[in-house]
Structure 1
C-alpha cells in the first residue's frame, strides 16, 4: 500500500505534531517481553536498555508487560524498514483482553481526551521514533504485531508518560505487613492514584483545528453542546477522508448515543491498512447504528449495524459535501446534492442518556479506528428553512463546544482507561486513597475547583447548588447547563461533600477550602431540604419528587447514614474555618438524622437496619456500613448488624441488597464494600465487635482477587468483581478505579492506627490494632503537610515493640490498647507523642 504525501505528513513521526505533556514524567519501558507467533507470557525475558526486538513473519508478535497500570502516548523506535511497514499496537489492562480483536475497547460512553480504541496501526517508512497522536489512559499489557512482510528491528518501545509512575513502595504513603497479600492490596491504591489522576496539560485535545477545518482521527464521536434542543433539521458539512472513512451523528444526546453514520472510502482503489476490518466496514458503504456505536461493549449494548452500499466511488483526499435530513420516516443522506441513501427510522433506543426522540438532539463528528478525516463548514437548517447553526470549524473555540478542549485543570478521574470522567461520587474514595499514597493534594483540590466551576446557580431550582455528577474532561463552564439534569444519583452530591471534608481533615488546607466554602454551603443548604419533615430521613421533596439514588432508596438507611456522616465532616470544616453558624446547623441536622435512622429503620425482627421505610424486610450492605460510619449504631446494634451480614455473603464478597438474586454475573462492588470495610474496622476498634470474619473475607477474597490472578491483575484496584473473582463487567471493567482501593486508607488508619485529630495532622491519634488479623509486623508511613508520621509494630509472642517517628510541628497521643500493658506493669492509657523517634515495649495480655 502506498500512502499519500498528506497521510505521510500526518503520521510521520508518528505525526510530527504530537501533543507535548505539560508535566514531563519521562518514559515508561516494559519490564518483560516475549516474541512469538502470537501473544504469550510463558517465557518472558527481562527488558533492559540493550534489549532489541526483531519481528518476522514467523514470529510477528511481541508481548510487553509493564508490570502494572501505566498511562501515556505509545511510541516505538525502529531501525530502517526494508519497505513500508505496518504495525498493529494493542493495549489492555488484563492479559486475557489481548485475545479479543478490539482488546478491552472501544470506549463508547465518552471521549475522555484519549484514544477511544485499544487497537491502532502505525505505518512506518523510515527509521526513528514514531508516536501515537492519542493518549492511552491505562494498561498493563501491550502487543506489537508485524502486519507486513519485511522483518523489522525495534530498538525501543513504550509510553511517553502522562501520569506520575512511581513504584508504590517509594510514594509518600507506604505500608507493609507480615501478610504479603495485605501489602499488595495496600499498594493497589498507590498505583491507581497515579494512573487515574492527570495534570493540567497532560490530556490534550483529541481534535486538531486547522485552516481546513477540524482534523479528527478515528474516535468516539464528540457532540456539539449547542444542538441539544434542536429537532427535525438538516445538517450539511464538508468532509475530506484522509484515510478510511468519515463519521457523524445526529439527533444525539451530548453523550455519543444516537443515530451514527460511517461512510467508508473505496478501499479497492485507494488501498487500505492491512488490518482494515472489511466485514465491519465494507468499502463504499454507509454503516449505520442507532445506539452507542457500531459494536457492542459489555453494558453498552447497541443494535445490529445496518449497511447501505453507495453506488459511486468515494475517494480519499477529495472534499465532499454531505447532508443528512431528519424526516418523518427516516434519515435522508445526500452527497454533493445527490441522494445516496435513505435509512428507515430505527426503533427508539431507550436509555437514561438518550435524547428525547429519534428526531431531536444534537450532532457530532468522529469516525472509526485508524480513520483520519477533515470536517468544515457545518450548517444546520431547521424544518422551516431557518439556518440555526453555522460553524466553519476553523477556530479553537470549536474544541470547547464539542467537549474536546485540552485539559486545563489537574483532576482525578473515575478510571484510568474509562470512563475518564470526574465522577463526583467516586471522589470520596479517591481523596482518601490519594491522601494515604501519592499525597497529590494539588490534584484533589484541582478536582474540587473543577467540579464547582459547573455548579448550578439557579436559585429557583430544587437542585440549586448541585454539581454535575460526571463533568467531562474536555468541557468548559460556559456549556455547563447543556443537557444537564441533576436528578441522577443525587447521593453523589453527599459523597462529593464528604470528600471535601476528608480533604480538609487530611491536609488542613484552610485557604484552599475557604475559596470554595460558599460553593460547599450552597450545595449543603440545598441537600438539607431533602430531609423529610415527617420521617426525619433523607428522601425526595415535593419540588424534586423523582430522583435516582446510588447507595440505596429514599427514606433509607444508606442515604440517611451517608448524609449524617457528610454533615459531621462539614462540621469539622466549618469549625476549622470559624463558621460557627454553619457548624451548629450541620451538627444539629446530623444528630437528627442519627436519631431518625434508629427510630424509623432499626428492625429488631431482622436484627439490622431496614433498607428503607418502603422495604422493611430487606437490608443492604450500604445501609449497615453508613449507619455504623455515621455513629448511629450502639454496641449492641453494631454486633447484630455485623452478624446479619452473613446473609449477604456471596462468592468472594457481599451482595449489596438482601433481595438481590444471586447470579454468576452479579457485580460485587468494591466501592460500597470499601465503606463496609472501614465500618467493620471501626466496630472492631471502638466496640471490640466480632467483625474479623467479615474483614478477612473481604481482604482475602474480594481484594485478593485483584492481585491473585495474573491473567487479570493490573496492579491497581478494580471497578467491579464477579462472584468467582474475575472482573465484574468482563473486558469493559475498569481495572484501575480508585473507588475500589479503600484498603489503602483503611489499613493505615486502623491497623497502623494513625488518624488526624485536628486538620492536617497538626495533632493525631495513634490507636494501633496490635497483632490483629494474625499479623506480627506492620510498618507504614503516613504523609502529612509537615512530613511523614512513621509507625511500626512488631509482635513476638506476647511482646510488642512499637516505634513511632513524629515530624516537627506535629504532636500526637498514643492510646495503648486495652489488651496491652507496659513492660513495667502499667496498664494501657494515653501517652503524649512529640517530635522525634519514640520506642515503646508492651506486653499483650491475651
Structure 2
C-alpha cells in the first residue's frame, strides 16, 4: 500500500488483546485514533481490531518501531466474522467450492476483523496505525426508508449496504493472475546456484487419463487413472481452469500448448506479457467485462440466477444500480446449451459467450434448473423496474427455449418435472445438495411461466399456463411452502402464520425445516427462506439478514457469510409491502400503493426512478383505525392507491396521474363505526410538518 493510500486508511472502532483476554462486552467509547499506538510483544503476541462493520479495502499498517535480534515477522489475519479469525489461521477464506475452484475469491473486500500476530520470539512491533485502505467506494442510495420502528430502519439500512457490497461495477474485479517477465527466470531455478539462468525444459503432458512431468526430456513422474470433471455433474470439463496451492505458495506457468492425440495444436499461449489480455480472458481470471451481482461479498463472488431473483428486486428498491442487474442477465443468458439449458452460474470474470462462435458453451455456467427458472423471473423483474424492453426482448427467445426444455422433462404419467442430475439439483439452506423431483423446481417453473406470460407482448405472442397439483405435506420446508403460498399454488390456511414463521422452541427464531427427521437437528435459520415466508404472509395481509444463522440469531458457523445477496429480502419487502409501493408497468409508468398494516405509526419511503422521485408516506392511528397515505408521483406516471386491508378510502378508489407532490389520501376502518375526522386532520397536520 502506497503512502497516498495510507492517508485514507479506515481505522478500527475498538481493539483488544487476543491472548488470554476475552472480547470486551461493549464497543469502546474511545475514538479510533485514540486506540493507537498498539504494540505486539512477548507479553501481548496477538491483537484483534474490530471495524464495527465490513470494510472494503486492502489491509494496511504503519510501523513506528520494531525491536529484535534479527528480522521481526508478524502476520495480519482478516475475516468477515470474529469466529473466522479465531478458528482459522488464514482468516475468513477462501471457502471450498466455487470461490476456490473458480479463482473468484477476493480477500480485499468486505472484512470486519483484523488480527495482528507476532511470530518472532523475543521481539516487539509498535503500530501508529492499522486498518483498511479503501479500494471500493460505497454507492449513493437512490432510496430512503424510515418508519417508527428503529429496528426495521437499521435492518433496511444494513440490507441496503449488503446490496451495495453484492453489486460489482464494470472493471472493478482485480485480476487473479499476474502476467510478469519473471516467469521464465523462475522456472529456470531448481536450487540457489545450480543451473542458474538455464532453461530446464519442464514439460507437463496430459493424454487421456494420465499426466506426465518431464525435465530436460527425462520423465520424472506419471499420474494415471485420472478422472477430472466439473464440480457439479459429469460433463466434460470446459471453461475456467483454476490453479491453487497451499497458503503462501505461488504457481508460475509459461508456454502452454494443448494438442489432440494426433498432434494438432488446440491451444497455444506463451503466457508472457504481450499475451496478457488474451491470457486473462482465456482463463477467465481478469476483470469483469460487465457490471454484475454476486451471491456474497466474501463467499463465492459468483453470479447466480437464484440469488439474482432476490437481489435484483433489492437493488431496485435501494441503490437502483440496475446496470448490475442488466449485466448479470446478459452474462448468464449468453450461456445456453444446444438443448436450451440456460446459464445460471458464472464467475464475474467470465466473458460473454458468443452464440454461433463454434466454441462449446462452458460447463461451469450451469448449476441448477431451478436457478435457471428463477433467472427468468429475475429478467421479468428487471424489465418492470427498468423499463428496458430492448434487453428483455433480446433474451426472450432464450427464456422460451429453456421452458421448452423443462417441458420435455415432464412426466406424462405423474405430471412432475423429472430432470436428471445435475439439472435437478436443489440446495436447501445449509443442507444439500439433493437431486430429483422437488417442489422447488415446480414452483420456479410456474413462476417462470407467469413471468414469460407477462413479457409475451414483447415477442408478439400469448402464453398459457397449465394446472398444477397439490399433495398433502408430511413435513415443512420453509422456503418451498412459502413460495407455494406466495404464488397461490398452495391454498391459504389459518395456521400459515405459525407454520411459516413459527419455531419449535420459545424465544427462538423460525427454523428452515420442521418435522423432517434429520433435517430438524441442524436447527438452521435461513434468512432466504424466512424472506420468502414473510413475503407470503405480507401478500395475505399478515403484517406481524445473513446467509444462515442459528435459532438464536448468531452465525451458523465460522465461515458463514454475513453479506449475502440472497438474504436481502427486507430491502424490497419493507417498502413494497409496508409502504405498499409496487411497480405495475415497466419503468414505473404505472404503480400501485397498498400498505400492509403491521403495528406501525408511520412510514416514509422515497425512490428515485427513471421518471423522477416517488414518495409514499403512511400515518396510522390504531385506536381510531384512521390513517393517511401521502403520495408524490412524477410526470408521465399513474398511481393506483388502495386502502390497507379492512379499510376504506374516504373518497373512494384513487387513480392519480402525475405530477403530484405531497398529496394526502385519507382512509378509515370498515368496522370503526364513527369516522373520527379529528384524528385524520391531526395525521394530515403531522405529515405536513
TM-score w.r.t. the length of structure 1 is 0.66
Matched, 1:548 2:438: no
Matched, 1:142 2:114: yes
Residue 374 of structure 1, aligned match among 252, 255, 266: 252
Could you say which residue in structure 2 is the equivalent of 1:503?
382
Residue 546 of structure 2, aligned match among 718, 727, 730: 718
- In angstroms, what is the RMSD of aligned CA positions? 4.4
Deviations 1:413-465 (A, max 9, x none): 11111111111111100101111111100111111111123233x2xx3xx2x
Measured in 1, the distance between the counterparts of 2:279 and 2:9 equals 33
User: SS in structure 2 opposite 1:368?
Assistant: coil
Matched, 1:678 2:678: no
CA contact (8 A) 1:752 1:792 kept: yes
Measured in 1, the distance between the counterparts of 2:245 and 2:322 equals 38
Could you say which residue in structure 2 is the equivalent of 1:568?
450
**Deviation at residue 484 of structure 1 after TM alignment:** 1.2
Measured in 1, the distance between the counterparts of 2:583 and 2:427 equals 29
CA contact (8 A) 2:45 2:117 kept: yes
**Deviation at residue 371 of structure 1 after TM alignment:** 3.0
**Deviation at residue 139 of structure 1 after TM alignment:** 1.6
Taking a change above 3 Å as real, the CA distance of residues 379 and 821 of structure 1, as seen in their structure-2 partners, is closer
User: SS in structure 2 opposite 1:832?
Assistant: strand
User: SS in structure 1 opposite 2:540?
Assistant: helix
CA contact (8 A) 1:813 1:831 kept: yes
Matched, 1:88 2:75: yes
Matched, 1:403 2:284: yes
Measured in 1, the distance between the counterparts of 2:397 and 2:8 equals 42
Between 415-424 and 41-50, report the one with greater CA deviation.
Answer: 41-50
Could you say which residue in structure 1 is the equivalent of 2:52?
67
**Deviation at residue 521 of structure 1 after TM alignment:** 3.6
User: SS in structure 1 opposite 2:171?
Assistant: coil
Measured in 2, the distance between the counterparts of 1:398 and 1:35 equals 45
Unaligned runs of 5+ in 2: 429-433, 673-689
User: SS in structure 1 opposite 2:315?
Assistant: helix
Matched, 1:455 2:336: yes
Deviations 1:677-711 (A, max 9, x none): 21111022xxxxxx56xxx5xxxxxxxxxxxxxxx
Deviations 1:26-60 (A, max 9, x none): 95613513254659752636555787534342555
User: SS in structure 1 opposite 2:402?
Assistant: helix
Deviations 1:588-636 (A, max 9, x none): 12xx2xx333xxx254xxxxxx4xxxxxx455434432333323355xx
Write out aligned runs for 1:325-474 (5 A).
353=232, 365-378=243-256, 391-394=269-272, 395-396=275-276, 397-456=278-337, 458=338, 461=339, 464=340, 466-474=341-349
Measured in 2, the distance between the counterparts of 1:757 and 1:642 equals 28
Could you say which residue in structure 1 is the equivalent of 2:482?
625
**Deviation at residue 754 of structure 1 after TM alignment:** 0.8
Taking a change above 3 Å as real, the CA distance of residues 423 and 821 of structure 1, as seen in their structure-2 partners, is closer
**Deviation at residue 751 of structure 1 after TM alignment:** 1.0
Taking a change above 3 Å as real, the CA distance of residues 827 and 736 of structure 1, as seen in their structure-2 partners, is same
Taking a change above 3 Å as real, the CA distance of residues 644 and 60 of structure 1, as seen in their structure-2 partners, is closer
CA contact (8 A) 2:528 2:547 kept: yes
Residue 492 of structure 1, aligned match among 371, 387, 412: 371
Measured in 1, the distance between the counterparts of 2:581 and 2:379 equals 20
Deviations 1:793-821 (A, max 9, x none): 23344253433333333331221235345
CA contact (8 A) 2:369 2:424 kept: yes
Between 812-821 and 81-90, report the one with greater CA deviation.
Answer: 81-90
Deviations 1:148-199 (A, max 9, x none): 535343346313223x425xxx622232333333223223321211111111
Measured in 2, the distance between the counterparts of 1:138 and 1:316 equals 42
Could you say which residue in structure 2 is the equivalent of 1:103?
91
Could you say which residue in structure 1 is the equivalent of 2:592?
765
Could you say which residue in structure 2 is the equivalent of 1:234?
none
Taking a change above 3 Å as real, the CA distance of residues 804 and 389 of structure 1, as seen in their structure-2 partners, is closer
Deviations 1:628-657 (A, max 9, x none): 3323355xx444655655888575223347
Unaligned runs of 5+ in 1: 1-11, 19-25, 118-133, 216-237, 242-264, 271-312, 604-609, 611-616, 685-690, 697-716
Matched, 1:776 2:601: yes
Measured in 1, the distance between the counterparts of 2:201 and 2:118 equals 37
CA contact (8 A) 2:145 2:606 kept: yes
- The aligned length equals 644
CA contact (8 A) 1:196 1:737 kept: yes
Deviations 1:299-357 (A, max 9, x none): xxxxxxxxxxxxxx9999997555567899997766656777788989x8999548789
**Deviation at residue 560 of structure 1 after TM alignment:** 2.5
Matched, 1:740 2:567: yes
**Deviation at residue 502 of structure 1 after TM alignment:** 0.8
Write out aligned runs for 1:612-761 (5 A).
617=474, 620-633=477-490, 637-639=492-494, 645=500, 652-656=509-513, 658-684=515-541, 691=542, 717-728=545-556, 730-761=557-588
Measured in 2, the distance between the counterparts of 1:647 and 1:48 equals 42
Taking a change above 3 Å as real, the CA distance of residues 344 and 657 of structure 1, as seen in their structure-2 partners, is farther
Measured in 2, the distance between the counterparts of 1:573 and 1:331 equals 50
Taking a change above 3 Å as real, the CA distance of residues 317 and 112 of structure 1, as seen in their structure-2 partners, is farther
**Deviation at residue 408 of structure 1 after TM alignment:** 1.4
**Deviation at residue 214 of structure 1 after TM alignment:** 8.6
Write out aligned runs for 1:23-34 (5 A).
29-34=10-15
Measured in 2, the distance between the counterparts of 1:391 and 1:142 equals 40
**Deviation at residue 776 of structure 1 after TM alignment:** 2.2
Matched, 1:815 2:642: yes
Measured in 2, the distance between the counterparts of 1:197 and 1:481 equals 29
Matched, 1:580 2:460: yes
Could you say which residue in structure 2 is the equivalent of 1:159?
133
User: SS in structure 2 opposite 1:596?
Assistant: coil
TM-score w.r.t. the length of structure 2 is 0.79
CA contact (8 A) 2:147 2:603 kept: yes
CA contact (8 A) 1:196 1:416 kept: yes
**Deviation at residue 529 of structure 1 after TM alignment:** 4.0
Residue 28 of structure 2, aligned match among 28, 41, 44: 44
Could you say which residue in structure 2 is the equivalent of 1:794?
619
Residue 239 of structure 1, aligned match among 183, 187, 195: 187
Taking a change above 3 Å as real, the CA distance of residues 516 and 32 of structure 1, as seen in their structure-2 partners, is same
Measured in 2, the distance between the counterparts of 1:536 and 1:424 equals 25
Taking a change above 3 Å as real, the CA distance of residues 381 and 355 of structure 1, as seen in their structure-2 partners, is farther
**Deviation at residue 90 of structure 1 after TM alignment:** 1.5
CA contact (8 A) 2:410 2:418 kept: yes
User: SS in structure 2 opposite 1:792?
Assistant: strand
Could you say which residue in structure 2 is the equivalent of 1:700?
none
Measured in 2, the distance between the counterparts of 1:559 and 1:360 equals 26
**Deviation at residue 92 of structure 1 after TM alignment:** 1.1
Deviations 1:90-132 (A, max 9, x none): 2211122221222222333245799888xxxxxxxxxxxxxxx
Residue 656 of structure 2, aligned match among 810, 832, 836: 832
